[in-house]
């Protein structure tokens, strides 16, 4: 998206003088109702999870899940954090994956995107197609699984989660679209001054593409934070530390973690706040995203509008 369009989207339509006749007022009123309801229903489920996490288990068993706790209790959180090493360890592991994966992935994506956008690069079309072809045809999940577990021997290795998420054709194409807006003359004049291609990329291009890097970096970061699929495929359930969403998945589906924490904190099994602990774990695993999200939202908007059509 170019800057002018962005400004217009930001400024909204105040500039547009639309007369308010009856039909205009009707549509506008309808719009406020529909959009308002949609926004409300986007938020409510989160409040339901939050409310349930603070509800006493007895109240859940009697009245079911509720937005507002009938009987307020922080018991679920107390047990989750009574033996914090597992969830804190998973937290640190996930942050580590986000930071390392985003840094490496972003650097490779930016470098590749720049090289493939250089008009004087003889192999750009061949390499672009080589990358793009992987979205058209794949060997399927089973051979991929055997590759990781049998040939690369990465079962129960965090590399099996980190490596496959580093790059995607979609993000490389998005980077190419961003780079396209930088005039090639900048590269050419730097070459005349004797700069090498890699130097041009690091010294000139990277600083000029910070909005692109922010957008692509955020896409990478959110995908590492939300990663559960490769974890489920390649990490055993009994590993001490697991990426947070996979940890949450197992807390929800097997309740192993809940039973273990209850045992560790000497709570009899029948008193375990099974349901509210699921919700409390979900709150802990999601809060960071919700906290950062309003600050970074606009970068995603930029990415969607650029990546959308050539996706």
Partner 1 sequence: MLARLRSNRTLLIMCLPAIAFFVVFAYLPMPGAYMAFIQFNYSDGIFGSKFVGLDNFRFLVLTGDLWRLTFNTIAYNIAFILFGNVMQILVAVLMNELRLKWFRKVSQTLMFLPYFISVVLIGLIAYNILSYDFGLLNSVLRSLDIEPVKTYSDPTIWPFIIVLTFLWQSTGYGSIIYFAAIMGLDSEVVEASEIDGANAFQRIYYIILPWLKPTFIILLLFSLGGILKGNFGLIYNLVGANNSALYPTTDIIETFVFRALMTNFNFSQGSAVGLYQSVFGFGIVMLANWLVRKISPENSLF
- Residue in 70, 164, 190, 265 binding partner 1, rule: CB under 8 A: 164
Size of the site for partner 1 (CB under 8 A): 113
Distance CA 269, CA 256 (A): 12
Binders of partner 1 in range 33-92 (CB under 8 A): 34-36, 38-43, 45-46, 48-49, 52, 60-61, 63-66
Q: Quick one: which of 130, 156, 181, 210 contacts partner 1 (CB under 8 A)? A: 130
Nearer of residues 182 and 301 to partner 1, judged by Cβ: 301
The answer to whether 192 contacts partner 1 (rule: CB under 8 A) is: no
Least distance in Å: CB of 297 to partner 1?
6
Collapse the DSSP code of 241 into the 3-class scheme (helix H, G, I; strand E, B; otherwise coil) and give the result. Answer: coil
Q: Which of 90, 60, 86 is nearest to 260 (CA)?
A: 86
How many C-beta neighbours within 10 Å does residue 114 have? 24
Task: Quote the least distance from Cβ 217 to partner 1, whole Å.
Answer: 14
Interface with partner 1, residue 163, by CB under 8 A: yes
Angle at 96 between CA 91 and CA 99, to 5 degrees: 125
Site string for partner 1, 259-288 (x = CB under 8 A): ----------------x--xx--x--xx--
Span 203-242, contacts to partner 1 by CB under 8 A: 222, 225-226, 228-229, 233
Instruction: Look at the chain and count its residues.
Output: 311
Helix, coil or strand: residue 265: coil
Q: How many CB atoms lie within 10 A of CB 58?
A: 13
Does position 297 interact with partner 1 (CB under 8 A)? The reply is: yes
- Nearest-approach distance from CB 85 to partner 1, in angstroms: 22
Minimum gap (Å) between residue 114 Cβ and partner 1:
7
Q: Which of 76, 109, 154, 213 is the binder for partner 1 (CB under 8 A)? A: 109
Euclidean distance between CA atoms 218 and 195, whole angstroms: 30
Quote the CA–CA distance of 51 and 49 in Å, as a whole number.
6
The binder of partner 1 chosen from 142, 240, 266, 268 (CB under 8 A): 142
Rounded CA separation 77/79 (Å): 5
- Alpha carbons 63 and 56: distance in angstroms, whole number: 11
Burial of 164-176, coded b for 16+ CB within 10 Å and e otherwise, reads bbbbbbbbbbbbb
* 300 counts as binding partner 1 under rule CB under 8 A: yes
> In the set 73, 102, 209, 245, which binds partner 1 (CB under 8 A)?
245
159 binds partner 1, rule: CB under 8 A: no
Could you tell me the smallest distance in angstroms from the CB atom of residue 20 to partner 1?
9
């Amino acid at each position: 998206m170019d800057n002018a369009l962005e400004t217009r989207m930001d400024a909204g339509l105040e500039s547009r003088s639309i007369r308010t006749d009856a039909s205009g007022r009707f549509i506008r009123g309808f719009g406020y109702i529909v959009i308002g309801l949609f926004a409300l229903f986007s938020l409510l489920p989160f409040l339901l999870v939050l409310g349930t996490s603070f509800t006493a288990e007895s109240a859940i068993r009697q009245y079911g899940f509720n937005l507002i706790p009938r009987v307020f209790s922080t018991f679920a959180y107390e047990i989750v954090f009574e033996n914090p090493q597992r969830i804190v360890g998973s937290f640190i592991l996930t942050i580590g994956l986000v930071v390392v994966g985003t840094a490496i992935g972003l650097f490779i994506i930016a470098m590749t995107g720049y090289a493939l956008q250089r008009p004087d690069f003889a192999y750009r079309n061949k390499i672009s197609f080589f990358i793009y072809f992987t979205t058209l045809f794949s060997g399927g999940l089973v051979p991929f699984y055997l590759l990781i577990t049998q040939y690369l021997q990465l079962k129960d290795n965090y590399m099996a989660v980190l490596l496959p998420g580093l790059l995607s054709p979609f993000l490389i194409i998005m980077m190419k679209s961003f780079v396209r807006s930088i005039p090639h003359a900048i590269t050419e004049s730097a070459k005349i001054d004797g700069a090498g291609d890699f130097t041009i990329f690091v010294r000139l291009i990277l600083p000029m593409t910070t909005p692109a890097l922010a957008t692509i970096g955020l896409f990478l970061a959110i995908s590492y934070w939300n990663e559960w699929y490769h974890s489920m495929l390649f990490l055993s359930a009994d590993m001490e530390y697991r990426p947070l969403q996979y940890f949450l998945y197992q807390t929800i589906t097997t309740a192993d973690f809940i039973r273990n924490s209850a045992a560790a904190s000497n709570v009899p099994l029948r008193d375990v706040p099974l349901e509210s602990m699921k919700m409390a774990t979900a709150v802990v695993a999601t809060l960071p995203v919700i906290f950062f999200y309003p600050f970074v939202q606009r970068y995603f908007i930029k990415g969607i509008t650029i990546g959308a059509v050539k996706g």
